[in-house]
Amino acid sequence: MLHVRLAPGPAPRNLSRRWDSSAYLHSWCSVPCPSRLSLSRAYSIKSSSIGSATGLCLGQCCRIKPLSCKCKLGRSSQPPPDSRQHFSASSSASEAVLTAQSDIRKLFVANEKIGVLLLNLGGPETLDDVQPFLFNLFADPDIIRLPRAFRFLQKPLAQFISVARAPKSKEGYASIGGGSPLRQITDAQGEALMEALCGKDIPAKVYVGMRYWHPFTEEAIEQIKKDGITKLVVLPLYPQFSISTSGSSLRLLESIFREDEYLVNMQHTVIPSWYQREGYIKAMTTLIEKELLKFPKPQKVMIFFSAHGVPLAYVEEAGDPYKAEMEECVDLIMEELEKRGMANPCTLAYQSRVGPVEWLKPYTDETIIALGQRGVKSLLAVPISFVSEHIETLEEIDVEYKELALQSGIKHWGRVPALGCEPTFISDLADAVIESLPYVGAMAVSNLEARQSLVPLGSVEELLAAYDSKRDMLPPPVIVWEWGWTKSAETWNGRAAMLAVLALLVLEVTTGQGLLHQWGILPPFP
C-alpha cells in the first residue's frame, strides 16, 4: 500500500464569471463579486510527530541518470530544538515561518536523501517510436475503458488502433522535427527544479518518469532505489488532476509500490494538482501579458484557453474533477490579469478528442469557427493544460487550429508558449516540494486538528477512489440477458457482431493478411 500525505486540493469557489455554453464565452458579472479565495496564505504552526522526530506542520500545498545536486547543507545528528521555544518571540504565525525558514528546512532534510519524481506523459523521440508509443497509450485502461468482460481485448485493440493511427501521427511528428521534444524539456525542467531546490537549501535529486515512453516510471523508480532515497515527493507535471493523466500515472505507481518492500517502507507524499498555486498563476499571466502586447489592439484580443479534453463520462460518471479544476484555473488567471489592468474577454474549449464517444465540450475546432462567425478578429491561444511544448501545441494548435482560425475570418493569431523552465514557475514548484516535506511519510490520524490541516491525509489508492468512484461499477446498458426480438436481444446481438468483427480485425492486424490489407486500407505488416 502506498501511504502518503497529499497536497491539498482547492476548496469550492464561487466563480465571478458566468460560463455561456451557447456562445462559449467567459464574461464578467455585472454585479459585485463575492469575496474570493486569496492566493496568499497565512500558515499555521503546530507540533506534529513525523517519524521519530518532532517537526512543524507548515501547510499546503527520470531521467534514468538522476539529476545531482551540488549545493551543500549542514547535517546534524543532534535533535531539533523545541519548536515552541524557537518561535515564542514571533508576533504571528506568518512571521514565524519567514524568520525560521532555514531551521525548518534543516529539520526535515537532516540525515535524509530527498528525491523528487516528476511524472509526465512521454512522447516518441523518433518516427520509429510513434507506433509503439501509441500502443502503450491505448493499452492503458485509463485511456480506453472496456467493460470488465472485454478487458482481455485491451492489448489487441491497442495494437489495432496504434497501427491504424500511426501513419497520420507520423506526419504530425515529422512536421515538428521528427519527434516530440517533451523528454528534453522535462529533463531541463528537472535540472532547473533541482537548482531551485538547492538555492532554497534543499539538496535533492530529481527524477523523470514517463507514462508511455522512455524513461518509463519503472526505470525512474529503479534509480530511486539504487540511490537510496529516503524521502520522496511525487510531482505530476499536470497542473489539473484527471484520472486519465495524473490518475493513470499514480495508479501505475501504486501497483509498483505494492510489489516492492523497499518502496512500501520509503517515506513519500504526492502533490496531485497545483493549478491554484500563486507562482503558477502569475507565471501564466505574465506569458499571456507579453503575447497580448504583440497585437495591434491588445485590449480587443479574445483570450482562447485550449485544454486537453477527456471523455465526458470521466467527469459525469467517474467523478473526474478535471473540468471543475480547469474552469477555476482560468478564473484565477483572469483575476490576475484584471489586477494588471487587462479585462480581455476569454473562452475555454477542449482539444484532442479521439474516437466516437462524447468528450468535454465545447470543442476547440468548433469554438474557433463560432468565434469567427461572431466577428472576433484577434485570438490568443493559451495551452492551459500543458507545461511543455509537444505535438498538441506545436502541430495541433500552431498549425491546424491557426489555419482553421484564419479560414474562419480571424485576422490576428497568437499563441502563448508553454511554461517550460520559466523562472517563477520553477521556483513555485520548488516551494511546493518544500511545503510538502513536513508531511512526507506521515500517517493518517483521527484527531480533529490533524484533519483540518492544509494537507489532506490518505493514500494514492484512496485518492483515486475518491476521484474515480465508479471505475469498476459503470452500469451496463442492458440489465438482463434476453433472447428474441427485444431491445435487450438486439443489444446483445449487436455486441456479438461487433465482437466477431473485432476478432477478425485483430487477426488481420496480427497476421498482416486479409481483405483490409488487400484493399490497401491497412498498411503492410512490418
**Cβ–Cβ < 8 Å for 417, 389:** yes
3-state secondary structure of 215: coil
**Is 472 a residue whose pLDDT tops 60?**
no
Query: What pLDDT, on a 0 to 100 scale, did the predictor assign at position 467?
Result: 59
The DSSP call for residue 101 is H
Reduce the DSSP state of residue 515 to 3 states and report it.
helix
Fold of 112-273+422-467: Rossmann fold (3.40.50)
Q: What is the pLDDT of residue 36?
A: 30
Tell me what the mean pLDDT of segment 476-495 comes to.
48
Dihedral (CA of 275, 277, 283, 289) sign: positive
Residue 1 pLDDT greater than 70, yes or no: no
pLDDT greater than 50 at residue 34: no
Task: Tell me the C-alpha distance between 137 and 130, whole Å.
Answer: 10
- Phi, psi (rounded to 5 degrees) for 203: -75, 120
Whole-number Å distance between alpha carbons of 172 and 402: 15
Place of cell 459503470: 474
Question: Percent of the chain, pLDDT > 70?
Answer: 66
Contact assessment for residue 356 and residue 313, using Cβ atoms and an 8 Å cutoff: no
* CATH of segment(s) 276-419: 3.40.50.1400
Give per-residue pLDDT as tens, 288-300: 999 999 999 999 9
Q: Which CA distances in Å does 241 have to 9, 235, 245, 273, 304? A: 9, 11, 7, 5, 21
Question: pTM of whole model > 0.75?
Answer: no
236 sits in which H/E element: strand 231-236
336: number of Cβ within 10 Å: 19
What's the mean per-residue pLDDT of the chain?
76
Give the range among 34-38, 156-160, 213-217 with minimum mean pLDDT: 34-38
Helix or strand (DSSP H, E) at 313: helix 312-316
Q: Is the pLDDT of residue 54 over 50?
A: no
* Cβ-Cβ contacts under 8 Å for 508 (sequence gap 6 or more): 514, 515, 516, 517, 522
Kindly tell me if the per-residue pLDDT of 171 is higher than 90: yes
What's the average model confidence in pLDDT over 135-156? 86
Whether the CB-CB separation of 209 and 220 falls below 8 Å is answered with: yes
For residue 450, give the amino acid letter: A
Which of these ranges, 184-188, 358-362, 415-419, has the smallest mean pLDDT?
Answer: 358-362
Residues, the chain, total? 526
232 pLDDT band, cuts 50/70/90, is very high
Indicate the SS3 state at residue 216. Answer: strand
Per residue in 415-458, pLDDT (tens digit) is 999 999 999 999 999 999 998 888 787 533 332 233 333 333 33
Average pLDDT value for residue range 333-348: 97
Residue 180 near residue 124 (C-beta atoms within 8 A): yes
What integer is the mean pLDDT of 306-325? 90
d(CA 165, CA 130): 9
Pairwise CA distance, residues 406 & 267, whole Å: 52
**Which of the four pLDDT bands, split at 50, 70 and 90, describes residue 469?**
low
Q: Tell which phi-psi region holds residue 90, choosing left (phi > 0), alpha (psi between -120 and 50) or beta.
A: beta
Contacts (Cβ under 8 Å, ≥6 apart) of 370 = 23, 24, 362
- Can you tell me whether residue 233 is helix, strand or coil? strand
User: Mean pLDDT, to the nearest integer, of 113-124?
Assistant: 96
Positive/negative CA dihedral, 315, 319, 322, 325 = positive
Q: Pull the grid cell for residue 454.
A: 492544509
Q: In whole angstroms, what is the distance from residue 236 CA to residue 225 CA? A: 19
449 or 143, higher pLDDT: 143
Give the model's pLDDT for residue 494: 66
Most confident by average pLDDT, 61-65, 313-317, 393-397, 509-513: 393-397
Report the interhelical angle of 460-467 vs 246-258 (nearest 10°).
140
Grid cell digits, residue 448: 480533529
pLDDT tens-place string over residues 257-279: 888 888 878 888 888 899 999 99
Q: Residue 83 and residue 94: Cα distance in Å, rounded?
A: 15
Largest CA distance in the chain: 83
Q: How far apart are CA 505 and CA 313, in angstroms?
A: 27
466, 460 in Cβ contact below 8 A? no
Alpha carbon 497 to chain centroid distance? 38
Please tell me the predicted confidence (pLDDT) of residue 468.
57
End-to-end CA distance of the chain: give it in Å, rounded: 42
Cα–Cα distance measured from residue 195 to residue 23, given in angstroms and rounded to the nearest whole number: 45
Q: Which of 4-8, 109-113, 360-364, 400-404 has the lowest mean pLDDT?
A: 4-8
Give the separation between CA 303 and CA 440, rounded to whole angstroms: 39
pLDDT in tens, 400-409: 999 999 999 9
Q: Is 424 helix (H, G, I), strand (E, B) or coil?
A: helix
- The confidence score (pLDDT) of residue 338 equals 97
By the 8 A CB rule, do 75 and 105 touch? no
